[in-house]
Amino acid sequence: MTATPAPSPTLFPLGDGTGSVSLVQHVGDDKSVVNAARISFGGDSDAPLNDRDEKLIRYLLRHQHGSPFEHNLITFKIVCPIFVDRQLVRHRVGVSKNEVSARYVEVQERNFTPPRFRKQAPSNRQASVEDDGTLDQARAAQVWQEAWRGAFGAYQDLLGLGVTREQARGVLPLSLYTESYYTFNVRSLLHFLGLRDHEGAQYETRLFARAMAELAEPLFPVTFREWRLLHAAH
Ligand SMILES: Cc1cc2nc3c(=O)[nH]c(=O)nc-3n(C[C@H](O)[C@H](O)[C@H](O)COP(=O)(O)OP(=O)(O)OC[C@H]3O[C@@H](n4cnc5c(N)ncnc54)[C@H](O)[C@@H]3O)c2cc1C
């Protein structure tokens, strides 16, 4: 009898029940990394991963032999605000993407509202800092909601007037949710995580990066363990 596959796990990094990362599919494991490296001397095998294999993974990572980490793939379905997606899409190498088309389908009423607003960092012009109690959280939330309702209402009005979807979407804000399939290989995923699960990255994007890591790590546990050890040392 064929076993029913377990449902793909879905994580909700923003805690609002809408923003999500799901594992759609994956190919490869730690052993396939080792086999890709050992094919150079005809030493690939079906044997389970052993200590020598783990040492080889460590060696490959430490010496930046990246190509053995490319013979695999991990596909995520990512539902995120457009401002997060604009950062994800900058990762060009070893990453494939397909996204819902707002020309093709009417945009759903899905808007991210920060549960808590942050302040502009005083020194780093790209960064934010936690509210020290001087920010009017309630008023900020009200302004945000009014802006969203106005924009989404305008979108619906334009559609009602007969304006095409591809033009009407122009009034929608960056907090609108979009959804995509993203496929990484482990090399491109680790590069992505190094940049986006980092204190310099935007907080919301970092939450998505962490969710992606949480789903990918059990698929390549030795690779992730050695990569984390290497990162911790730097
Ligand atoms: C904290 C942070 C702040 C950022 N701020 C900004 C910003 O203000 N404005 C902005 O525009 N972007 C910004 N970015 C995006 C950033 O510049 C990169 O585009 C993004 O992080 C993708 O990184 P990458 O190019 O290494 O990745 P990939 O595109 O996946 O490339 C992977 C690697 O391939 C090589 N590579 C890729 N393309 C080329 C090429 N054309 N020529 C030579 N080598 C190549 C490089 O070694 C590169 O590291 C920011 C990113 C971060 C993490």
- Which residues does the annotation mark as catalytic? 196
Angle at 31 between CA 221 and CA 94, to 5 degrees: 75
Ligand 1 center–CA 91 separation, angstroms: 6
Residue intervals of the chain classified under CATH 1.20.5 are 114-121+135-174
Most distant CA pair in the chain: distance in Å? Answer: 67
Residue intervals of the chain classified under CATH 3.30.1360.170 are 10-103+175-233
pTM: 0.95
Which residue's CA is minimally distant from atom 45 of ligand 1?
93
Tokens of 127: 């960064």
Tokens of 146: 């009014």
Digitized pLDDT (tens) for each residue of the chain, 234 residues in all: 445 555 678 999 999 999 999 999 999 999 999 999 999 888 889 999 999 999 999 999 999 999 999 999 999 999 999 999 999 999 999 999 999 999 999 999 999 999 999 999 988 888 999 999 999 999 999 999 999 999 999 999 999 999 999 999 999 999 999 999 999 999 999 999 999 999 999 999 999 999 999 999 999 999 999 999 998 877
Phi-psi region of 57 (alpha: psi -120 to 50; beta: other; left: phi over 0): alpha
User: For residue 68, how many C-alpha atoms fall within 13 Å in the half-sphere facing its CB?
Assistant: 25
- How does DSSP classify residue 215? H
Which residue's CA is minimally distant from atom 18 of ligand 1?
90
Phi-psi region of 73 (alpha: psi -120 to 50; beta: other; left: phi over 0): beta
User: For residue 78, how many C-alpha atoms fall within 13 Å in the half-sphere facing its CB?
Assistant: 31
Residues with CB under 6 A from ligand 1: 90-93, 126, 188, 191, 195-196, 200-201
Task: Give the SS3 label for residue 86.
Answer: helix
Ligand 1 center–CA 93 separation, angstroms: 9
Which residue's CA is minimally distant from atom 36 of ligand 1?
93
Task: Give the SS3 label for residue 117.
Answer: coil
Domain 114-121+135-174 fold is 1.20.5
CATH 3.30.1360.170 assigned to domain 10-103+175-233? The reply is yes
